């Protein structure tokens, strides 16, 4: 699962639309672990940076849903506190 998060991060840097599509697929899988969900949130945050204010506002519920999903994801209790702080700082940024 860790490798999947790293792969998603590389995809985010090279092909953001494809990374966003993959992140959406992963978020909808209840077995997706916290580290991968953190990478998904990072992809979504990168995408949000490209939007105009009006489009950004429309996407806010999505990122908040993804952060909620992260907070109860498998492995959240064993993953590093860095992941939790990353998702938390994304939520604070919103």
- Domain of residue 26 covers 2-93
pLDDT of 54 reads 87
Q: How many domains does the chain have?
A: 1
0.75 exceeded by pTM: yes
For the chain, what percentages of helix, strand and coil (3-state, to nearest 5) are there?
75, 0, 25
What does the pLDDT profile of the chain (94 residues) look like in tens digits? 568 878 898 999 999 999 999 999 999 999 999 989 989 999 999 999 898 888 888 998 998 999 999 988 988 887 655 555 555 555 555 5
> For residues 16 and 47, is the Cβ–Cβ distance under 8 A?
yes
pLDDT of 75 reads 86
């Amino acid at each position: 699962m860790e490798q999947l998060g790293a792969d998603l991060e590389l995809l985010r840097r090279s092909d953001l639309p494809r990374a966003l599509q993959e992140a959406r697929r992963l978020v909808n899988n209840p077995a997706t672990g916290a580290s991968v969900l953190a990478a998904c949130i990072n992809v979504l945050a990168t995408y949000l940076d490209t939007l105009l204010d009006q489009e950004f506002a429309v996407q806010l519920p999505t990122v908040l849903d993804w952060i909620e999903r992260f907070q109860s994801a498998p492995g959240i209790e064993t993953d590093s506190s860095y992941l939790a702080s990353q998702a938390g700082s994304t939520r604070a940024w919103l």
